[in-house]
Amino acid sequence: MKLILKIKNGEKGHALILSLIILFVGSVVTTSLLGFVATGSKAGQMYQENIKEYYAADAGVKHAIHKIIKDDESLVDLEDNDSYDYSLPGSVNGLPINITITKHSLIQGILGEDEYKLNQPHESWMDFYVPPEETNRNYEEGWVEYSCNITFHYDGSGSRKVETVGSFFSPAPGEGITIDEPYNVNTSGAMTLNNLESFEIKETGGGFAFIWRWAGNLGPQFDNANRDGSLTYNFKVYDPDWMYLLSFSWATFKEQDVSFVTSLELSKWLIEVTAGDITVRSSVMRQNDTVDILTWEIVAPS
């Protein structure tokens, strides 16, 4: 106030000092503000570019799924682990779209590569009947319970010894949700838990799997005299709103001419799409004319 009073009293030299102070403060504020504006503008531009790339990559995934559903001739003769590469004609959002579709066996990623063999004959010798059924929901205690009945029938000659039996359920429950180990586990006929080596709950491929493993060459044996058997169990997921969208069971065998069989005729595919600097990787399963997206992840940029 004293400085202002002096200016009013005609001490004009001080007005210059005050003007310089205001100009300095204003220039500092303006420079900082322009810096923020420039940074925000660049961030907004990068965000818009990334959004364009995300949408373009997503369009590529949908195009690949369409090929899978329609049994495109480029995919029909693919063997397990073979890939087909192609590019979309033209561009999407001004970006070229490059796509790779890889065919996988149904249980890749669930079992280790040394636990099964690909493309083995006589898989039809072993049939499954697997109806998982909801038995109870308890919202107060926060869980849902399911029962599963895996029924085996062997229609071949000689004998076959089981090495692993498992069930896969999708989607995976949310983070922090507990899955109980199966209980009320019972077997009948040729199936038995004798010589069981291990049991595992494995989160994989957008879902989770229960896996029973028997010691080498000591698993349940199906033959001409023992063609039928079953494995039944219950399990709980501690989220009363959880429901499975996809489930299947499998068994692997020691003998080379029957490696593994599954309860559903499914195809599993890995789709990788690159659009600009973005790469999207999606794992999908197909059953008839429907596709379940198990995973969808952005793997670039870092």
Does this model's pTM top 0.75? My answer is: no
Burial 193-203 (b: 16+ CB within 10 A, else e): eeebeeeeeee
pLDDT for 133 equals: 85
| H helices present in 70-167, as ranges | 73-76
pLDDT for 233 equals: 95
Which two three-digit tokens encode residue 276?
């600009």
Which two three-digit tokens encode residue 249?
């069971």
| DSSP symbols for 210-225 | EEEEE-TT-S-EEESS
pLDDT for 261 equals: 80
Listed in sequence order, the residues at least 6 apart from 188 whose beta carbon sits closer than 8 Å to its beta carbon are 229, 230
Reference 146, options 230, 212, 242; nearest CA is 242
pLDDT tens series, the chain, 302 aa? 444 444 445 555 556 666 656 665 556 555 555 554 444 444 445 445 578 888 899 999 999 999 998 889 999 888 888 999 999 988 888 899 999 999 987 787 888 877 877 666 677 777 777 778 888 999 999 999 999 999 999 988 888 899 999 999 988 898 889 999 999 999 999 999 999 999 999 998 789 999 999 988 899 999 999 999 999 999 999 999 999 888 888 888 887 667 778 877 777 899 999 998 889 999 888 877 778 887 888 886 65
Reference 146, options 56, 243, 224; nearest CA is 243
Among 2.60.40, 2.40.50, 2.70.98, 3.40.80, name the CATH number for the domain at 122-262. 2.60.40
Reference 212, options 223, 222, 204, 202; nearest CA is 202
Measured between alpha carbons, how far is residue 294 from residues 119, 138, 149, 236, 281 in Å? 23, 27, 24, 21, 11
